[in-house]
Structure 1
Amino acid sequence: MMLVESGDDLIAIDCGLMFPDDELPGIDHVIPDFTYALERRTGFRAVVLTHGHEDHIGALPYLLRELPVPVYGTPLTLALVAERLREHGLLETADLRSMRPRDRIQAGVFGIEPIRVTHSIADGIGLAIDTPAGTIVHTGDFKLDPSPLDGEAPDYRRFAELGERGVAVLCSDSTNVDRPGHTRSEVEVGQALGGRFDVATGRIIVATFASHIHRIQQVLTLAARTDRRVALLGMSMQRNVTIAADLGYLQVPPAIVVPLEELASLPARQQVILSTGSQGEPHSALALMAAGEHKYVKVERGDLVIISARVIPGHERTIGRVVNALYRLGAEVLYEDNAFVHVSGHASQDDLKLMMSLTRPRYFVPVHGEYRHLLGHARLAESVGIAPERVFLMEDGMGLELSTADARVVGGFPAGRVLVDGKSVGDIGAVVLRDRQLLAEDGLIAVSVAFDKSGVVAAGPEIASRGFVYVKENELLMEELKKAVLAALAERDPDAPFDRELVGATVRSAVRHFVNQRFRRKPVVLPIVLEV
């Protein structure tokens, strides 16, 4: 989420979420901190969306719950947004406003123009934002595909016209800055997939992103060409195909998509399954098939499984397990490491250089990517002649103050991550995360002890363990632990008044000392002190 502010007016570019990594156990997703924007709610004019991927639209329900600001996007993007808002019960009150490339939108002092770009989802745009201090060009996520499947090529001419008129700041996608050359066209991966369809003698299972409408289109077209029928697996796949077809972004050949039950009645050589799960997500259709747990589909020898997607960093182990399991079931598996089955939706180095050449910005800000990507893009900008003092490497919480004369970095904006866990938004902090990590790594020991009115142990200690040891197979160890607890309690001053908190601390300390000495482990210890 990027904010553009001038005077009392404020707009947001995109409003996405992130998915948690291993350091955030139990967290569903991570959303931006909206504090700064909400503090300026009276001047918050609009959210402008560049495309429909979750990392650009996924946090909208959480923002609109706090502030019903107008949301602009292209038709497909807004249709995907509408589904998210319907899930949150916000669709009826949302102000969704459709726009198309080269439209002109006024939001306070900002004049906003969408510009066609290509990406791994249809209907993507960049933005030209006219401000009192000059024009800001934001590329969105993009690549420069000269022959896109839908014929909607990037608007090179408009970017060049803006460059001739004068671009103050270019904010450009940095995701693929490490890749030399040009990003290959979507048409090329379609040709490669076509060769696989032509020679396959059995069933074909294709896993890809449910949002990749052009990849889905190519699978449907190839299935029709090779006299096959297609069944869709995964709720998001079914939903997105319906949305894209209804809006005209997806051309579904007649009678090509059939229910899974009908597909199963056909010979294997006529079957194609189009599935979610290209990242090996544990409960996705592909993962269930690989584990032999899918209710309707059993992978068999002779099946061809094509994972037509890039492995997102952090998913290498999960997709590796899925690939191994599919091989064990006898399938042939094609994926990014062993076949040409995917092209990226992000610009490579030569595409990035071309964007700089077209727009000729006075200042340059790399966006979208990890720090190494931003740094690499900054260096790339310097290599094509943009002066180092005009390249700004910025991270979350930093801002660029722009005037007609100069630009400088300012900071101190609230930009922390907000964690979403079920219906809990922002309530999970560092202490809870640390406890979850400890539970995952070393387990839990619960010790319950009952005391009579005089402070003497009346019952217990009783010990329960989860994730530490299996109690029934370690009864001798449990007896030793009980003795250690009783020994620690016996050392209390008998004349001191009974203090439940102090007793709990004594039990906790005794268990931790015993476990650390014996096992060098640090489980969570939960003392339960009862008075009877």
Structure 2
Amino acid sequence: MSEAAGVGPGPRVLPPALEPGTLRVIPLGGLGEIGRNMAVFEIDGKLLIVDCGVLFPEETQPGVDLILPDFSSIEDRLDDVVGLVLTHGHEDHIGAVPYLLRLKADIPLIGSQFTLALVEAKLQEHRIRPYTLTVAEGQIERLGPFECEFVAVNHSIPDALAVFIRTRAGTVLHTGDFKMDQLPLDGRITDLRAFSRLGEEGVDLFMVDSTNADVPGFTTSEREIGPVLEDLFGRVRKRIIVASFSSHVHRVQQVLDAASAHDRLVCFVGRSMVRNMAIAAKLGYLKVPDGILVDIKNVDDLPDDRVVLMSTGSQGEPMAALSRMANNDHRVRVGKGDTVILASSLIPGNENAVYRVINGLLKLGADVIHKGNAKVHVSGHAAAGELLYCYNILRPRNVMPVHGETRHLMANAGLARQTGVPASSILLTEDGSVVDLVAGRARVVGSIECGYVYVDGSSVGKITDADLKDRRTLGEEGFISIITVVNRTTGKIVSGPDISARGFAEDDSVFDEIRPRIAEALEEAVRNNSDHTAHQLQQVVRRVIGAWVNRRHRRRPMIIPLVIEA
């Protein structure tokens, strides 16, 4: 659909068979949501995948650990996959790789040194040994009918790459996540010279990060965080706990530098933080001052004014270290005078969980510093001003905003239109949309089924939306079970109705007035229909008690009737 057409679910139209010499692009995640980023490219019978990430569940998805892209459209074509390109090492871009490689372990993984190191550590936990190809900016690799050139981009994790895909049908520039920090901590800027060169060559389809498209101006430089942290470290007299993403090497570097400047020792807390920082230090992306790190087992032996805890849990994840500290369920006990710094942004959907953690920490007596009251975080995504630069440098023929909720995608589309991209060449799509590119023109030709795949413990894809609805009902409304034994011949109640409830906030005696009505309705149903089934009688019970509970108590609990015929 065009930019003017808006975005949203419409009637599903299956795409036509792919014509020879046409490039097909299918996003399987990351459009309409922050996370689950994945796109599949197809030409001449071969597939190239860019990114394979997870989406983290919201409160409306109880019990769910992760949400994966829907692999069903490519599951029977994995032999045609020539490679999986990973733009960078964040979970929303690499977290689903183990689940894809469970289906076919030898899909080649292509990415930068740090990205692949994080992926390999993750795959080791799943006992998968991948086939990998390490690439760097400026490198060109031929993957079947796809020629991929990799371009350095700056992001909130080292070694991020954009990928320029050349095919006989046309070219695609996929930015991954990026921003244009002109003074990055590692000196690695987004390569606008390469962007300019690719613009001169011709970009037929620009797939561009939309996360901050509705933010005016330019994203603040990462360097502005360091002085703020140093000032805070100089003023705090007790323990400091900093929470951030476990892959944010630059933020951890700033914490190490501030701690070193104020004679504090640093302890990494959280399994992923310990693992990822060990990898970053080993590969040279993290510069660790000598003697600054301390094991968590020795923290209690140190004076409070010499301790910094670098923790996971900045998004309020229930099992992460910071959430457990807020619940007083961690070996680190937060107390009066401690300072907690949330050095990250809020991912949409996590607000309630994060505020719950903040409230818990405040109740324990801690001071909580976050983005809302101090400059302790800057985004890793390009704001509107930076995106306008990209459009003007590249002059793409077609634009497909990616990586963002609907509001972000639409804001990005508006920026493209302002720079002269025709509305008919701006594709506002959603997960499962099918886009064909040929002769410099991209258009939506249909869509495929592309639902959420839930990871719940060890089960993958077995939990449905209906199951989640039942869980929400149980959690919000409770449940009522009714067991009744009926004489099949006479229709008389032999035993019951026995009613028990959980999560209903009422004493079981409240059901005394409805029991006779249930018995009466059952006996009448048996008299009026001699060929009744147990299921029909259970539906009678469900209707009677459901109407009563709704009318009398304004509740809609899960009702589980059981009628036994004797």
TM-score normalized with structure 2 length = 0.88
**What SS does the corresponding residue of 1:46 show, helix, strand or coil?**
strand
Summarize the Cα distance change of 1:288–1:23 in structure 2 as closer, same or farther, 3 Å threshold: closer
Name the aligned partner's letter for residue 399 of structure 2: F
Summarize the Cα distance change of 1:405–1:18 in structure 2 as closer, same or farther, 3 Å threshold: closer
| Distance in 2, Cα, partners of 1:334 & 1:369 | 27
How far has the Cα of 1:256 moved from its partner?
Answer: 0.8
Deviates further, 444-453 or 173-182: 444-453
Structure 2 counterpart of 1:78, from 103, 116, 129: 116
State the partner residue of 2:162: 126
Name the aligned partner's letter for residue 303 of structure 1: D
State the partner residue of 1:529: 563
Summarize the Cα distance change of 1:380–1:453 in structure 2 as closer, same or farther, 3 Å threshold: closer
Structure 1 counterpart of 2:511, from 475, 478, 494: 478
Structure 2 counterpart of 1:421, from 447, 451, 456: 456
State the partner residue of 1:4: 41
Equivalent residues in 2 for 1:189-228, closer than 5 Å: 189-228=225-264
How far has the Cα of 1:46 moved from its partner?
Answer: 0.9
1:314-348, Cα deviation, whole Å (9 max, x unpaired):
22222222222322333222101111100000001
| Distance in 2, Cα, partners of 1:263 & 1:223 | 15
Q: Work out whether residues 229 and 263 of structure 1, in 8 Å CA contact, stay in contact via their aligned partners in 2.
A: no
Structure 2 counterpart of 1:385, from 420, 427, 441: 420
1:151-187, Cα deviation, whole Å (9 max, x unpaired):
2222222112112222222111010011111111111
Equivalent residues in 2 for 1:263-282, closer than 5 Å: 263-282=299-318
State the partner residue of 1:257: 293
Summarize the Cα distance change of 1:389–1:513 in structure 2 as closer, same or farther, 3 Å threshold: closer
Q: Does 1:515 align with 2:513?
A: no
| Distance in 2, Cα, partners of 1:386 & 1:492 | 68
Structure 1 counterpart of 2:338, from 297, 303, 306: 303
How far has the Cα of 1:142 moved from its partner?
Answer: 0.3
Deviates further, 414-423 or 197-206: 414-423
State the partner residue of 1:410: 445
State the partner residue of 1:444: 479
| Distance in 2, Cα, partners of 1:224 & 1:237 | 19
Q: Work out whether residues 204 and 441 of structure 2, in 8 Å CA contact, stay in contact via their aligned partners in 1.
A: no
How far has the Cα of 1:43 moved from its partner?
Answer: 2.4
State the partner residue of 1:66: 103
| Distance in 1, Cα, partners of 2:201 & 2:305 | 57
State the partner residue of 1:106: 142
State the partner residue of 2:534: 500
Q: Work out whether residues 151 and 191 of structure 2, in 8 Å CA contact, stay in contact via their aligned partners in 1.
A: yes
Structure 1 counterpart of 2:363, from 328, 335, 338: 328
| Distance in 1, Cα, partners of 2:334 & 2:77 | 55
Q: Work out whether residues 38 and 67 of structure 1, in 8 Å CA contact, stay in contact via their aligned partners in 2.
A: no
Summarize the Cα distance change of 1:327–1:23 in structure 2 as closer, same or farther, 3 Å threshold: closer
| Distance in 2, Cα, partners of 1:60 & 1:415 | 17
How far has the Cα of 1:130 moved from its partner?
Answer: 1.0
| Distance in 1, Cα, partners of 2:216 & 2:546 | 54
State the partner residue of 1:188: 224
Q: Work out whether residues 51 and 74 of structure 1, in 8 Å CA contact, stay in contact via their aligned partners in 2.
A: yes
How far has the Cα of 1:453 moved from its partner?
Answer: 6.3
State the partner residue of 1:31: 68
Deviates further, 208-217 or 55-64: 55-64
Equivalent residues in 2 for 1:99-178, closer than 5 Å: 99-178=135-214
**What SS does the corresponding residue of 1:194 show, helix, strand or coil?**
helix
**What SS does the corresponding residue of 1:345 show, helix, strand or coil?**
coil
How far has the Cα of 1:117 moved from its partner?
Answer: 0.7
How far has the Cα of 1:374 moved from its partner?
Answer: 1.0
| Distance in 2, Cα, partners of 1:302 & 1:196 | 13
Summarize the Cα distance change of 1:430–1:307 in structure 2 as closer, same or farther, 3 Å threshold: closer
| Distance in 2, Cα, partners of 1:97 & 1:17 | 22
Q: Work out whether residues 265 and 307 of structure 2, in 8 Å CA contact, stay in contact via their aligned partners in 1.
A: yes
**What SS does the corresponding residue of 1:35 show, helix, strand or coil?**
coil
Deviates further, 138-147 or 15-24: 15-24
| Distance in 1, Cα, partners of 2:535 & 2:433 | 45
State the partner residue of 1:458: 494
Summarize the Cα distance change of 1:459–1:405 in structure 2 as closer, same or farther, 3 Å threshold: closer
Q: Percent identity?
A: 44
| Distance in 1, Cα, partners of 2:427 & 2:549 | 52
| Distance in 1, Cα, partners of 2:440 & 2:302 | 69
| Distance in 1, Cα, partners of 2:61 & 2:336 | 38
Name the aligned partner's letter for residue 529 of structure 1: V
1:405-435, Cα deviation, whole Å (9 max, x unpaired):
4332211233222222223332333432332
How far has the Cα of 1:457 moved from its partner?
Answer: 2.8
| Distance in 2, Cα, partners of 1:55 & 1:501 | 45
Deviates further, 168-177 or 65-74: 65-74
Summarize the Cα distance change of 1:152–1:63 in structure 2 as closer, same or farther, 3 Å threshold: same
How far has the Cα of 1:196 moved from its partner?
Answer: 1.2
Summarize the Cα distance change of 1:402–1:227 in structure 2 as closer, same or farther, 3 Å threshold: same
Deviates further, 264-273 or 419-428: 419-428
| Distance in 2, Cα, partners of 1:328 & 1:432 | 35
| Distance in 2, Cα, partners of 1:279 & 1:426 | 24
| Distance in 1, Cα, partners of 2:141 & 2:237 | 53
1:266-325, Cα deviation, whole Å (9 max, x unpaired):
22111111111112222322222223332x222222222111111122222222222223
| Distance in 2, Cα, partners of 1:104 & 1:84 | 26
Q: Work out whether residues 202 and 268 of structure 1, in 8 Å CA contact, stay in contact via their aligned partners in 2.
A: yes
How far has the Cα of 1:501 moved from its partner?
Answer: 1.8
How far has the Cα of 1:80 moved from its partner?
Answer: 1.7
| Distance in 1, Cα, partners of 2:531 & 2:192 | 81
Higher relative contact order (CA 8 A, sep 6+): 2
- The size of the alignment, in residue pairs, is 526
Q: Work out whether residues 397 and 441 of structure 2, in 8 Å CA contact, stay in contact via their aligned partners in 1.
A: no
State the partner residue of 1:435: 470
Deviates further, 145-154 or 284-293: 284-293
Summarize the Cα distance change of 1:329–1:492 in structure 2 as closer, same or farther, 3 Å threshold: closer
| Distance in 2, Cα, partners of 1:412 & 1:152 | 38
| Distance in 2, Cα, partners of 1:417 & 1:410 | 22
Q: Work out whether residues 181 and 350 of structure 1, in 8 Å CA contact, stay in contact via their aligned partners in 2.
A: yes
Summarize the Cα distance change of 1:452–1:373 in structure 2 as closer, same or farther, 3 Å threshold: same
How far has the Cα of 1:452 moved from its partner?
Answer: 4.9
| Distance in 1, Cα, partners of 2:485 & 2:441 | 72
Q: Work out whether residues 230 and 263 of structure 1, in 8 Å CA contact, stay in contact via their aligned partners in 2.
A: no
Summarize the Cα distance change of 1:181–1:493 in structure 2 as closer, same or farther, 3 Å threshold: closer
Deviates further, 376-385 or 334-343: 376-385
